[in-house]
Amino acid sequence: MNKRKLGNSKLELSAIGLGCMGMSFSYPPFPERKVMIGLIRLAAERGVTFFDTAEAYGPYSNEELVGEALEPFRDRVAIATKFGFKFDPDTGAQIGVDSRPLHIKQAAEGSLRRLKVDAIDLFYQHRVDPDVPIEEVAGAVRELIVEGKVKHFGLSEAAVQTIRRAHAVQPVAALQSEYSLWWRAPEAEVLPTLEELGIGFVPFSPLGRGFLTGKIDETTTFEESDFRNILPRFAADNRKANRAVVDLLARIAAGKGATSAQIALAWLLAQKPWIVPIPGTTKLERLDENIGAAAVELTPEDLREMDSAASKLTVQGARYPEHMEHMTGR
């Protein structure tokens, strides 16, 4: 698979990464652990060198899964994980954010142990903590880098001014935020800022939490604990209205001998050479499909057609419920 560098960092990664969250968190039913270990190892054998997890996914169990799966491949892959939430000690439920420097260092020690590594390749602040100046967060990660426990610093869902302030203390290697054909907000301010500062971009949910694959419509039902049940964009009437985006992808895909998912990923790759999407899956056929997107070439004419058609579409429904919106773009 082609390689890409995250901005000015020395992180050279496969053009398509693998988001591992859904293997044990947010999107049930979850396959057997040994099956997911096998899938992660098959991804590495197929040329994927970038794997994404977080202490919050479980909590902790997803890091343990990724750490065990990638132990035989440690010298040829990069693992990204995240800090910044606090959890109820009894239930494991998230009970807010916590990016105090001491907590960051404790989180790092836990992630190192669970991932079975000597250093974390990319350590993101999972969500901005309004009670801790970002300069203190960046300073704490800088100390971990000096100690050799972390290689690169990242932010997730951070606003432009937060990115600039953090980058002035410790260079930010990558920003991870949602970006796809049905969530293009980063194009206004975030992408130009990242380009200016030499920071890479890692889009999560590059397939719209599965919607852009064309496999979900207004009749689809999700398991009770599936995260999508609380997302306004996934209300049945909004799914019906938003099929126009999927239809656009399907039309382009038909002319390329590709799938809608591959076109959605190829579109992201075509936006900037320092973008590395991390689609998640629990199925081997979807893994191969996503990897195949790296070989799909969209011409300038294809991209103009897609942008023109997409500009006439209004995606219906907020991406998060109101009580969660305050945690993004700070």
Instruction: Flag whether 305 is in a domain.
Output: no
Instruction: Flag whether 126 is in a domain.
Output: yes
pLDDT per residue as tens digits for the range 129-185 = 999 999 999 999 999 999 999 999 999 999 999 999 999 999 999 999 999 999 999
How many domains in the chain? 1
Query: How many C-beta neighbours within 10 Å does residue 115 have?
Result: 24
| Average per-residue pLDDT for the chain | 97
User: pLDDT value at position 294?
Assistant: 98
Instruction: Flag whether 110 is in a domain.
Output: yes
Residue among 33, 30, 86 nearest 59 (CA): 86
User: pLDDT value at position 325?
Assistant: 85
User: pLDDT value at position 297?
Assistant: 96
Instruction: Flag whether 111 is in a domain.
Output: yes
Region of 148 on the Ramachandran plot (φ > 0 left; ψ -120 to 50 alpha; else beta): left
User: pLDDT value at position 295?
Assistant: 97
Instruction: Flag whether 129 is in a domain.
Output: yes
Residue 27 has pLDDT above 90, yes or no: yes
Instruction: Flag whether 195 is in a domain.
Output: yes
Residues forming the active site: 57
The domain that holds 196 is classified in CATH as: 3.20.20.100
Instruction: Flag whether 240 is in a domain.
Output: no
38 confidence band (pLDDT: 50, 70, 90):
very high
Mean pLDDT of 112-128: 98
Token pair, residue 329, equals 């773009």
Print the domain residue range for 288. 3-209+272-297
Instruction: Flag whether 257 is in a domain.
Output: no
pLDDT per residue as tens digits for the range 48-96 = 999 999 999 999 999 999 999 999 999 999 999 999 999 999 899 999 9
Decide if 81 contacts 115 (C-beta within 8 A). yes
The pTM for the full model equals 0.97
Token pair, residue 70, equals 């990638």
pLDDT per residue as tens digits for the range 299-330 = 999 999 999 999 999 999 999 999 898 888 89
